[in-house]
Amino acid sequence: MKPALALAVALLLALACACACSGRSNRPGPEAIVVGSVLDAATGAPVKDVRLEGPQGARAVSGGDGRFEMGGLRAGDEGELVARAGDGRGGSLTLQPLPAGRLEVVVYLRRP
């Protein structure tokens, strides 16, 4: 393969991956973003490094302050928001059809 063609293919693959991994949806309709906090149900303390999965395969991880932002959603998306910590604690909540814009939620983690 010629070097110029190999470079072009590599750039196209990188661009495709960047678009797919950006958290933005290419589905039509207004964007919806779920933001919030992950808290320990027993203590109320924020929990970091919690993996969250929402409708349409949207994903997020909570930061050191327990906060997260989940993009890649559209107004009207609905379903479960499931949170799992590395120590086995978990929590979930049901998202009704999402409005356009930002929706603030709190997810409480409990021991199994």
In a domain, 6, yes or no: no
In a domain, 47, yes or no: yes
- 109 forms beta bridges with 40
pLDDT per residue of the chain (112 residues) written in tens, 0 to 9? 565 555 445 444 444 433 444 445 577 899 999 999 999 999 999 999 999 999 999 999 999 999 999 999 999 999 999 999 999 999 999 999 999 999 999 999 999 8
Task: Provide the edge-to-edge strand list for the sheet that holds 79-84.
Answer: 59-61, 51-53, 79-84, 90-95
Range of the structural domain that residue 42 is part of: 27-109
Residue 43 has, within 13 A of its CA and on its CB side, a CA count of: 7
Q: For residue 83, give the 3-state DSSP assignment.
A: strand
Sorted by sequence, the CB contacts under 8 Å of residue 91 that are 6+ apart come out as 38, 41, 82, 83, 107, 108, 109, 110
In a domain, 11, yes or no: no
**Which alpha helices (DSSP H) does the chain contain, by range?**
3-20
In a domain, 90, yes or no: yes
Predicted structure pTM score: 0.76
- CA separation for the pair 62, 106 (Å, rounded): 12
In a domain, 14, yes or no: no
In a domain, 53, yes or no: yes
- 59 forms beta bridges with 53
Q: What is the pLDDT of residue 26?
A: 72
In a domain, 81, yes or no: yes
Q: For residue 36, give the 3-state DSSP assignment.
A: strand
* pLDDT, tens digit (0-9, with 9 covering 90-100), for 69-88: 999 999 999 999 999 999 99
Please tell me the total count of domains within the chain. Answer: 1
Token pair for residue 87?
A: 């120590």
In a domain, 7, yes or no: no
CATH number at residue 35: 2.60.40.1120
